[in-house]
Amino acid sequence: MKIKCIVMDDEPYALKQMAEYVRKTPFLDLAGECKNASEAMLLVSDPAIRLLFADISMPGMNGMELTEILPDRIEVVFTTAHSTYAVDSYKVNAIDYLLKPISYEDFLRAAGKAHLEIVNKLKLHESENREMKHLFVKSENKTVKINLDEIDYIESLNEYARFHMGPNESIISLMSIKILEETLPAKKFMRVSRSFIVNLEKITTIERSRIIFYGNIRIPIGDQYRDEFKSYLNSSFP
């Protein structure tokens, strides 16, 4: 299985070397080369990106700071000329740490470790998604079983979530939308804004960046989520 990755370094030679290492590694797929964190942030919006090789010492936002705002799906291997960063790199859960100058042997070892971690996570996630068919939630003084196939969309109400199962049927539960986003099967449900998660299988109409439910409910697709939703739509075309 090939893993899509990007490399980031402000030194042209180091950036070129890392890109060449990725290209000669059979299980990696180079998706981009970045000279700074701003360029990297544009690329990581692609949901297929799973791995980042990042220099720590960068002008502006450094590699450590970038890691703190990356999507959870992305693993990081740090590269640097300063051994003093080693401990800090593991504090932010980096997969590995490569000290410059970097040999291909050292790169391959770190890449192999990242590949194994990512593949195992994907397999676990797919297994969980296949098995999950319903959800138990607390509503008022009861625990209610909700079949995932019956959910059209979920609306955030601050600390609560409203599950919509039709134009006139809904259940409210004390549950955050962030927890639901992490819990629900990613192949079936997608967060499309700060306040809404939709069942992808229930989408029938999209109009002007809004998903239409029941003919009159318009759910806006937020700027932060637009690229991932667009990727889903593109992958759904025959």
**Nearest alpha carbon to residue 51 among 18, 81, 83, 84:** 18
> Where do the domains of the chain lie, and which CATH numbers do they carry?
3-130 (3.40.50.2300), 134-236 (2.40.50.1020)
Calculate the alpha carbon distances from 10 to 57, 99, 203 in Å.
9, 16, 43
pLDDT tops 70 at residue 133: yes
Q: Which of 47-51, 120-124, 185-189, 193-197 has the lowest mean pLDDT?
A: 120-124
pLDDT tops 50 at residue 105: yes
Q: What is the pTM of this model?
A: 0.55
- pLDDT of res. 1: 83
Mean of the per-residue pLDDT values of the chain: 88
- pLDDT of res. 202: 94
pLDDT tops 90 at residue 26: yes
pLDDT tops 50 at residue 87: no
pLDDT tens digits along 191-228: 999 999 999 999 999 998 999 999 999 999 999 899 99
Q: Which of 16-20, 55-59, 118-122, 138-142 has the highest mean pLDDT?
A: 16-20
pLDDT tens digits along 113-129: 999 988 887 776 666 65
Q: What is the mean pLDDT of residues 59-84?
A: 82
Structure tokens at 179: 């927890």
Return the higher-pLDDT residue of 130 and 68: 68
